[in-house]
Structure 1
Amino acid sequence: MGDLSRMTCFSLNTLWRRAVLLVCLLAAAPAWSADILLTAAEDSAGVQDFTQALARQRPEDTVTFTVLDDLPAPSRLPATTRLILLDLPSLDWRLRDAQGPPTLVLRISRLQAQQRLGATQHPRISLLWSDPPLARQLRLIAGILPQARRIGVLYGADSEFLLTELRQHATPLGLQIVPQRWDNINDSRPLQTLFRKSDVLLGLDDPQLYNPKTAKNLLLSSYAQQLPLVGPNAGFVRAGSLASTYSDQADWLAVLDRLLDHPPANWPRSLYPEHFKIVGNPQVARSLGLEQVDETSVATRLAEGEKRP
C-alpha cells in the first residue's frame, strides 16, 4: 500500500508539473497567428526585401511571397489567408473573383483605384493609398509658403474627380483652388494661363500630366515664373519640385503591422499611412529665393496637427 501511495503521489505530481508547463507554454504563445501571403506579377529584390522585413516584424505569423502566375483563383485560397497585393496586375486578378480571402492592396493611387473600381467597393478588399493625402499636401503648402493663397492645380480627364475633395480641404485653410485642365501636354498655353493666376502649383499624382516627358517643361516653366511646385510625389521633388509629403517602406510596414493585429472585418475600406515624412529640394528653394524646408520640423508640425481633433 505504501508503494502504491508513493506511485500515486508521483503520478499526480508529474501530471501537475505537466499541466503547469502547458499553461506556461500557452501563456507564452501568441493568441493567434496568421498565414500572410504576398503576391505580385514579378519577383524582385525589392519585393523580397519587403517580404523579409514584414516577416521579421511579425515572427509569430507565416509570411510568404508567391508569384501571381503560381497562384490559383482567389476563391481557391484558404479563407484564413491574409492576402497582400503589391502591384496592379495582382489587383486585376483579385477583382475577377468576388470570393477569396480578405485582401490588402498596398501602394495604389487614388487615380488607379478610380480607373479600376470607380465608386464601387469590393467587400473583401482594403486599399492602402500611395499618393500623398490632398489635405496633407495643402497643409504642407500652408506651412512652408504661408503667403500663398491661390493654389494652381493642373488636372486631366482622369484626375478631375479629385478637385471636389481638394476644394473641401482648401476652404478651412483659407486657400483657393485654381484648376486648369491640361489635355495636350505638348501645348504650354494652359501652363502659362495657370501660372498667371496662381501663387504656387500643387501637383496631383496623375502620370498623364507628371511624367518624365513633361517634367522638363513643367519645372523650367515654374523656375522662369518663380512659381514653386509642391508634389506630386517624392520622385518629382528629386527631379526639381520644391517639396512633398511621402511614406516610405517603414511607414507602410507600420500600417500593415497595425492592420494585421485586427480581424479583417475591422479593416477600413481605404487608408492613408498615418506615419509620413517630408522631402525638400534645397537647390530649388535657393533658386526660388525661398527658405530651405526643414523636413523634420515641418513633418512634426503636420503630424501634430493631424492628431488634434
Structure 2
Amino acid sequence: MRPSSRTSLLSATLACVAMLLVLALRGADAAEIILSAQDAPAVRQFTAALAAQRPEDQVRFVPIGELAIGTLPPPTTRLILIGEDALVWRLKTAIESPTLIMRVNRLEARRWLNGQRPENVTLLWNDPPLDRQLKLLRLLLPHVRRVGVLFDADSQHLLEPLRQAAAPLQLEIVAREWPNPRDSRPLLELLNDSDVLLGFEAPSLYNPLTAKSLLLTSYARQRALIGPNAPFVRAGSLSSTYSDQDDWLQSLDELLDQPPASWPRALYPTHFKVLSNPQVARALGIALDDDAELARRLAAGEHSR
C-alpha cells in the first residue's frame, strides 16, 4: 500500500473514531424530558418542535391526567409543565424532578403559591416583564414622564416592582385603583393625570368586556396604551413585547443546556418580539420604528447589562 493510501486510511479511521466518541458523549449526556399539560394539538406540536430541536434528548408528551395517576418520574427526568392546571398539580405533588412551569403569569401563580415556593421548580412567566414594557414605552414616546396604571386588589402587588423599574428611566408611575370596570371615573381621572397608559396582564381589568370602553376613552383623550399583551395590540393598544413559540423554544433550549441546579426560581423568556399597531400610531401622530428594530434595540440593552 502506498504511503498516501495509508495516510488517507488513517485519517478516515481517526475521523470515524472521533465521530463515535462525540456520539457516545452525547448519549451519556442525554436527558429524559417530559412535557405535560392538558392534551391539545398545539401542545403536541410544541413537544415535537422541542424534540426536533434537541435530538440528543428523549423528549415526549404525557397528558397531565396520565402523569397524575401514573408512576412519578425519577429525579433525573426534567419536567416541563404548561398552564395553570399543571402548576396546581405540581404544587400538590411530592416530586424531586426539576420542573419548568410555563404559560402562567404572576397573578395566577400568586393565587396558588400562597407565599410558598417549592424546591426544584422554575416559573417561566407568560406576561411581558414590566421593565421591558417600560423600556419599549420609552423608545416609542421618549418625551413622556407620567405613566398611568390601573390596578385592582389582585394586581396591586405589582405597583412596587413597577415603580422600581420606572425610576432609572425617569418615569413617574401614577396609579389609580379600578375596583369596578363599569365605573369609568378612575380611568378618566388617570387619563387627566398621566401622559400614557401602561397595562399589565390583569384579566379582571383587561379583557374583551373592558377593551372597547378602555381603548375608546383613552384615545378620545389622545393617550396611548402600551400593553398589556399582543392580543390587546391587535384590539387597539399601541404596542407590546411578547414571546411566540420560536422564542419559547430558544429560551427553553438555553435552559435545558444548563444543569437544573443552576436554574433560577423564576424568569422571563430571554427571546422576544415587538408587535405594534400602525393604525393607532397614525391616529395618535406617533412615528413607529420597525417592530424588529424595536425588539433588536431592547434586546441589545438587556444583553449589555
TM-score normalized with structure 1 length: 0.90
Matches within 5 A, 1:202-221: 202-221=198-217
Pair 1:226–1:23, CA change in 2 (3 A):
closer
* Pairing 1:307–2:303 present: yes
Return the match for 1:36 from 7, 11, 33: 33
- Computed over aligned residues only, the root mean square deviation of the Cα atoms, in angstroms, reads 1.9
Letter of the 2:252 partner, please give it: L
The answer (yes or no) to whether the contact 1:156–1:181 under 8 Å persists in 2 is yes
- Is 1:138 matched up with 2:134? yes
Determine helix, strand or coil for the equivalent of 1:37: strand
- Corresponding residue for 2:59? 63
Residue of 171, 184, 199 corresponding to 1:175? 171
Give 1:12-161 correspondences, 5 Å limit: 25-29=20-24, 30=26, 31-41=28-38, 43-72=39-68, 76-161=72-157
* Structure 1 CA distance for aligned equivalents of residues 16 and 125 of structure 2: 46
**Pair 1:197-2:193 in alignment:** yes
Could you say what secondary structure the match of 1:300 adopts?
Answer: helix
Answer yes or no: is 1:224 the counterpart of 2:220: yes
Match of 1:284 in 2: 280
Deviation of the 1:305 alpha carbon:
1.1
**How far did 1:156 drift?**
0.8
**CA-CA distance at 1:301 after TM superposition:** 1.2
How many Å apart are 1:116 and its aligned residue? 1.2
* CA shift in 2, pair 1:22/1:289, >3 Å: closer
2:236 and 2:148 map into 1 onto residues whose CA distance is 17
Which residue does the alignment assign to 1:15?
A: none
Aligned to 2:275, the other structure's residue is in SS state strand
Alignment partners' CA distance in 2, 1:28 and 1:40: 32
Aligned identity (percent) is 54
**CA distance 1:63–1:221, shift in 2 (3 Å):** same
SS across alignment from 2:62: strand
Amino acid at match of 1:40: A
Separation in 2 of the partners of 1:241 and 1:164? 24
- Assess if the C-alpha contact under 8 Å between 1:280 and 1:293 holds in 2: no
- What whole-Å deviation, never above 9, does each CA across 1:56-98 have from its counterpart, x for those lacking one? 0000111111111112468822221111111111111110023
Pairwise CA distance, 1:294: 2.1
CA contact 1:84–1:106 (8 Å) conserved in 2: yes
Q: Indicate which of 269, 274, 277 corresponds to 2:270.
A: 274
Aligned residue-pair number: 291
Indicate conservation of the 8 Å contact 1:126/1:268, yes or no. Answer: yes
| 1:147 positional shift | 1.3
SS at match of 2:124: strand
Give me the whole-angstrom Cα distance separating, in 2, the residues matched to 1:286 and 1:201. 17
**How far apart, CA to CA, are the structure 1 residues paired with 2:255 and 2:70?**
20
Shift of 1:266: 1.0
Alpha carbons 1:39, 1:84 under 8 Å: kept: yes
Partner Cα separation in structure 1 for residue 234 and residue 211 of structure 2: 11
Distance 1:202 1:65 in 2: 37
CA distance in 2, matches of 1:50, 1:22: 35
| Shift in CA distance, 76/188, structure 1 to aligned 2, threshold 3 Å | same
2:84–2:103: 8 Å Cα contact kept in structure 1?
no
Higher CA-based Rg: 1
Q: CA deviation at 1:24?
A: 5.1
| Alpha-carbon distance between aligned partners in 1 of 2:297 and 2:22, rounded to the nearest angstrom | 41
Query: What one-letter code is carried by the residue in structure 2 that aligns with 1:297?
Result: E
SS of structure 2 residue aligned to 1:251: helix
Give unpaired runs (5+ residues) of structure 1: 1-17
